[in-house]
Structure 1
Amino acid sequence: MTVRYPRPLCPGDRIGVTSPSSGVPKELQGRLDVAIREVEARGYEVVVGRCMSGDGHVSAPAPDRAADLTAMLTDPRIRAVVPPWGGETAIDLLPLLDWDRLRAAEPTWLVGFSDLSTVMTPLTLLTGTATVHGNNLMDTPYRVPEGLLSWLDIVSAPAGHRFTQTPPGRYRATGFDDYRTHPDVREFTLDTPGRWTRLDGGGDGNGGGDVEAEGRLIGGCIEMLCNLAGTPYLDASAFARAASPQGLLVYVEAGGDDAFAICRNLHGMRLAGFFDTANAILVGRTSAPGTDSLTQHGAVLDALGSLGVPILADVECGHVPPYLPIVNGAYGRVVHTSDRSELTQTLD
């Protein structure tokens, strides 16, 4: 399998907006409008789909959401699809998507995180189409901190493009902005210093020594992907054999479940083979709670420490702002030393 990169976006191209999982409540429509205008300001035309309602936990019945997403991903006039955000039960789309049609179509960028992992990661694994795990549409108006990129920067990059992102050294520890009262907020409140932490072999941030590892990138949200473990939708080993015999860089992040749940979920994913070809594991920074006897870092080590590969935690690839976009399928190189942390991705 060859990784398929959608062609880079140019001004005048169309970007589709639909909600494969949760829609947008009326009281948050203002933020959606601000986000759409931000994309339009880059010179793109925005097309809003039929499945956007925020009246329930999903935007529409599963067949309608699957049809809307498939239509956008296979429409040659739409070059990227960016949902407003994730949700809870996008898993109901998987048996309804027309995978043969998606595989045959010219690839289109799909961007998002959280519950969108449920669709994006299988899309890369099953069709070879690169997808972007990163800030979603509602996050797009925020100014990007130094060292990081927006998904808009990535989807407009040419084939073969190589880019490096570095942690800004600060993150947000105080929750999220209230889009109801401040729909036009554009500045992240990064109120806490933080850096990447090497979990295996030490505990002081780099106790296991320097890390340098390579491989194609694949991963997503733990709470979502764990439900696909052992199914054809999450066969990372088959993807590695077909597209990355040199191995993978696997990334995971906890959205909100406590440390016991994350520990169980990661054990299940490991038993199902998701980490079998990992050359290193990146773990997103999380605000999810620990327990009296187990931290979130401890949960990762309990489940994955025996794999014998470097494990880097507190990477900006999760639910805690800011966001470091990762391209599923891109060739990655991660470096972590006492004074340097970076992830380089190549669209080849």
Structure 2
Amino acid sequence: MLSFATSLSPGDRIGVTAPSAGVEAAAARRINFCVDWLRDAGYDVVVGDCMDGSGITSAPARARAEELTQMLCDPSIRCVVPPWGGETAIDLLDLLDWDALTAADPTWLVGYSDLSTILLPLTTRLGWATLHGDNLADTPYTPPSGLLPWLQIASGTGPHRQQDSGLVADWWRFEEDPQATVWKRVGTGTWSVHGGESLHVTGRLIGGCIETLCNLAGTPYGDVATFGRKHSKDGLIVYLEAAGDEAATICRNLHGLRLAGWFDHARAILIGRTSAPDNPVMTQREAVLDALAPLGLPIVFDLEIGHVPPHLPLVNGALATVTVEGDCHELVQELW
């Protein structure tokens, strides 16, 4: 019921295409550096045609859908990664060739932010494991102690063990350093469990960016309720992160996911650290609790899984065990 792509190794081909936003100006220097960085690491990198950064998307929706489908179905390409997210990847979902994808062997698709819009339905509709991790622009950054690079997660079945890094970081602006490989340290943070001091739970991972995924609820591309029923024996661990919407909007979005059955088979909920603004009368944490605390599920806050770096890569479909007890803040993923 779940399919994991073949382990990725140096020498394998990685496809780069922009299903959402493209690249221009100073950003192009960063992406060129990242492509060269992957090549220096031993990978064969091919860059697609859909990369233009002059508009809100890199190309018309049909062209982006065709290029992404082609790369995911090409047996010589073992992994596809975008330069970054964007705004409207949702416009290509019904243009992807789902029949061709169903007939193809699974290929790693890696990214986060607007790429959640594509990662999630590949997992829920096709059973392909997908990797919620650094986009290409972030890939050269060295993970802090406790976290693993997505390249390592994609390179084997695990168990992949990661711990709370304690780091709150930021990106270097491309104009400052287009070749940055060390995160800009801005503070510290730690995971916390709502309603208790400890947690030990196992389930199948599914989730992504709240602002993009809320638009999929109730469509054939966001049927997490059915996915949960299929995997009810293992249960789900649903992870979510807010990119930038203020707290009341996030609250409404989370209520919508709840009403769509996203948490019906959940055993725990993971919430990413966020710099999104509070509402004048509601914090981001209160937004989560307003929508999800009535479910009675354990909620772990402030994981490194979103728009505040560094990044803890998660595999949609992986069997994960989350432990928060005393000094042990750990997430272990097994890819089977």
Fold-level similarity (TM above 0.5): yes
Offset at residue 102 of structure 1 (A): 0.8
Equivalent residue number for residue 205 of structure 1: none
Residue in structure 1 matched with residue 222 of structure 2 by the alignment: 234
Q: Which amino acid aligns with 2:186?
A: D
Instruction: Indicate the residue corresponding to 1:140 in structure 2.
Output: 139
Aligned pairs for 1:257-276 (under 5 A) are 257-276=245-264
Q: Distance in 1 between matches of 2:231 and 2:12?
A: 29
**Does the alignment pair 1:38 with 2:40?**
no
| Amino acid across the alignment from 1:146 | S
Number of the residue aligned with 2:174: 179
* Residues in 2 aligned to 1:103 and 1:239: alpha-carbon distance in whole angstroms: 16
Deviations 1:266-290 (A, max 9, x none): 0011011111111000000000011
Gap change, CA 1:148 and 1:64, over 3 Å in 2? same
TM-score by length of 2: 0.98
Moved beyond 6 Å, runs of 4+: none
- Determine the C-alpha separation between the residues in 2 that align with 1:228 and 1:313: 23
Q: Quick one: distance in 2 between partners of 1:165 and 1:244?
A: 25
1:285 aligned residue = 273
Match of 1:170 in 2: 167
Q: How many residues align?
A: 336
Structure 2 counterpart of 1:222, one-letter code: I
- C-alpha distance in 2 between matches for 1:317 and 1:283: 8
- 1:95 corresponding residue in structure 2: 94
Q: How does 1:175-254 map to 2 (within 5 A)?
A: 175-199=170-194, 201=195, 208-254=196-242
Which sits farther off after the overlay, 179-188 or 55-64? 179-188
Alpha-carbon shift at residue 291 of structure 1 (Å): 1.8
The SS at the match of 2:248 is: helix
Distance 2:282 2:114 in 1: 25
Distance 1:36 1:128, change over 3 A: same
Letter in 1 for 2:181: R
CA distance in structure 2 between the aligned counterparts of 1:45 and 1:296, rounded to whole angstroms: 42
1:142 match: secondary structure: coil
Task: Tell me if 1:314 matches 2:302.
Answer: yes
Shift of 1:232: 1.5
Preserved CA contact (<8 Å) 1:215 1:244: no
RMSD over aligned CA atoms reads: 1.1
Match of 1:48 in 2: 47
Query: Structure 2, unaligned stretches of length 5 or more?
Result: none
1:216–1:244 CA contact under 8 A, matched in 2: no
- SS in structure 1 of the partner of residue 214 of structure 2: helix
Distance 2:9 2:249 in 1: 43
Q: Is residue 228–residue 266 contact of structure 2 (8 Å, CA) maintained in 1? A: no
Are 2:328 and 1:340 equivalent residues in the alignment?
yes
Matched residues, percent identical?
Answer: 55
For 1:233 and 1:306, locate their aligned partners in 2 and report how far apart those are by CA, in whole Å. Answer: 26
Please give the secondary structure, in 2, of the residue aligned with 1:117. Answer: helix
Tell me if the contact between 2:72 and 2:106 (Cα under 8 Å) persists in the aligned partners.
yes
* TM-score, normalised via structure 1 length: 0.94
**Partner Cα distance (2:244, 2:182) in 1:** 23
SS of structure 1 residue aligned to 2:301: strand
The residue number in structure 2 matching 1:62 is: 61
List alignment gaps of at least 5 residues for structure 1. Answer: 202-207
